[in-house]
């Protein structure tokens, strides 16, 4: 840690990760065969909401599987509890550590990547903060932002969950001139909380 784009050993721990890596390989093959330009943007955990004026757009889908929306729904009383899967990982507080990126920072990276396309090259960029937060750290921020205690239960680990996933985004910073403008976990959670309470269907 942190994970580099240049890692020579790639071992996805889920079908989701395997599919993303397969697309990277396909893009590299098409670039080599056709001389086109392609860029792979490897997102880490996308959080927050997009707001311009009175327009608010955020994450809402069924079933919800992402940590921060689930925690916010529990804080809002829309779920009876929030489950932590595994408290015995080799991390400082025993819960898994993940990297988070604000959706607005992610959108900006896409625009910069489009301006950076080079025919005959397949570029790969990690997009994350380069800082990891444990589940317990995230939940503490959720409680601070919402002002509500979370009904937390602890369960056994889920198969395939690695202890820590944190991105190195140095390549995106160096080549694209990209840096996260909303790197604070509190900003990300606050924006997601505002969206949850906005009544927007976007």
Peptide bond into 63 cis (omega under 30): yes
Q: What are the boundaries of each domain within the chain?
A: 39-196
Which one from 16, 43, 50, 89 is the annotated catalytic residue? Answer: 16
Helix axes 135-146 and 67-75, enclosed angle (nearest 10): 40
Would the pTM count as exceeding 0.85? yes
pLDDT of 118 strictly over 70: yes
CATH number of 39-196: 3.90.25.10
Specify the higher pLDDT residue, 161 or 8: 161
pLDDT at 8: 59
16 given a catalytic annotation? yes
pLDDT of 201 strictly over 60: no
Q: For residues 54 and 64, is the Cβ–Cβ distance under 8 A?
A: no
Q: What is the mean pLDDT of residues 99-113?
A: 95
Q: What is the mean pLDDT of residues 172-192?
A: 94
């Amino acid at each position: 840690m942190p994970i580099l784009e240049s890692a020579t050993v790639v071992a996805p721990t889920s079908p989701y990760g395997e599919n993303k890596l397969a697309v990277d390989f396909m893009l590299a093959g098409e670039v080599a065969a056709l001389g086109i330009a392609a860029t792979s943007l490897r997102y880490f955990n996308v959080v927050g909401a997009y707001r311009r004026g009175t327009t608010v757009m955020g994450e809402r889908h069924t079933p919800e599987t992402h940590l921060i929306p689930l925690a916010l729904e529990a804080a809002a009383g829309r779920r009876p509890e929030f489950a932590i899967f595994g408290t015995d990982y080799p991390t400082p507080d025993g819960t898994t550590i993940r990297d988070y990126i604000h959706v607005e920072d992610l959108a900006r990276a896409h625009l910069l990547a489009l301006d950076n396309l080079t025919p005959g090259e397949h570029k790969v960029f990690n997009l994350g903060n380069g800082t990891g937060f444990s589940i317990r750290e995230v939940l503490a921020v959720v409680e601070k932002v919402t002002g509500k205690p979370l009904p937390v239960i602890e369960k056994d680990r889920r198969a395939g969950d690695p202890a820590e996933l944190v991105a190195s985004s140095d390549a995106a910073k160096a080549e694209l001139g990209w840096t996260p403008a909303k790197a604070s976990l509190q900003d990300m959670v606050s924006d997601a909380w505002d969206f949850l309470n906005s009544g927007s269907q976007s």
